[in-house]
Amino acid sequence: MRVVIDKGIPFLEGVFDPIAEAVFLSPEEINAHTVRDADALFVRTRTQINKELLAGSRVRFVATATIGYDHIDQDYCRAAGVHWVSCPGCNAQAVCDYVQEVLSTLCPQAYGKTIGVIGYGHVGKLVAAMASHMGYEVMLSDPPLGIGKPLRHIASQCDVLTFHTPLTRDGEYPTFHLCDAEVLRLCKQNALIINAARGGVIDEQALFSRLSPLASSPHRLTTAIDCWEGEPQVNKALLQHVDLASFHIAGYSILGKMRASEMCLTAFCEFFSLPILSINKKLVPLHGDSEPGWLKRISDQLKAQPEQFEQLRKSYPLR
């Protein structure tokens, strides 16, 4: 058996030795040629799982060590008999911690203020509880679950909007450009907008139109953006007007990475009817990047080197 693994997925070195040949590659090296003889893939969001990659291969199983799965062509996988799994909730606490750092930095006075949590899944539940504990009044919006109020109503009422939805383009409730020009227009004076969900949930052109010094709007917004459209290319004009910017690392924590690797490994063993393997905990770092002001520090880093988005992301020390 041969398993191709994105080398950015930690704690798996040596784990497959008793049962399979494990090949660790960068996302750029994972292509139709390198996966042709693989039985299973372990990937992240940078690898597009589709016909172009898998046609003619013997891949039967794909695990993405991420919550998001919009990089997986589900229709193709279904038709080709490829089983795939994601890791819902694996990094929910890490994203919640990120949002808390944003709030503490940009909106430290919580009492008397209202936060709108858009999406009430694994992350949204934790964020709502955390914000309530900080002293915010919490409003929810999750139409697919039948929870809370419509987004536009919440936008007009809240001091903070934080997005925690998947990225979808179809169905009854698509989330692509969910936060559009109209939502931004309805926001309160100095409202804080946080995107720690997926790039594309916010219409970046509409947001730039509001943040630009040339904007016609009489009031400004405060913004913290972790997920960007077109990653790893970043809208440099928008970047310079965002209050806090990061390189899609809201979910990057030691615990979150451990959970994702464990979930992928367990699903792999179950699919192939193998004894459950354990991650290599000898590789788990003892300490991560949690020094005070860490988010402001990496925001300055990204603004100074936007072309290094992917490298900054790859070299980020887990929190």
Question: Would you call 33 a catalytic residue per the annotation?
Answer: no
Token pair belonging to 281: 């905990």
Q: Length of the chain in residues, anyone?
A: 319
CA distance linking residue 245 with residue 261, whole number of Å: 27
Question: Would you call 44 a catalytic residue per the annotation?
Answer: no
Which of the following is catalytic: 46, 164, 177, 248? 248
Token pair belonging to 188: 């309160």
Question: Would you call 198 a catalytic residue per the annotation?
Answer: yes
Query: E strands along the chain, which residues?
Result: 2-6, 21-25, 40-43, 61-64, 83-85, 114-118, 137-142, 147-148, 160-163, 192-195, 222-225, 244-245
Range list of H helices, 17-170: 32-35, 51-54, 74-80, 92-106, 122-134, 151-157
- Residue 301, H or E segment: helix 294-304
Token pair belonging to 6: 């994105």
Which of the following is catalytic: 13, 29, 231, 310? 231
Asked if residues 111 and 135 have their Cβ atoms less than 8 Å apart, the reply is yes
Which of the following is catalytic: 198, 241, 259, 319? 198
Q: Active-site residue numbers?
A: 198, 231, 248
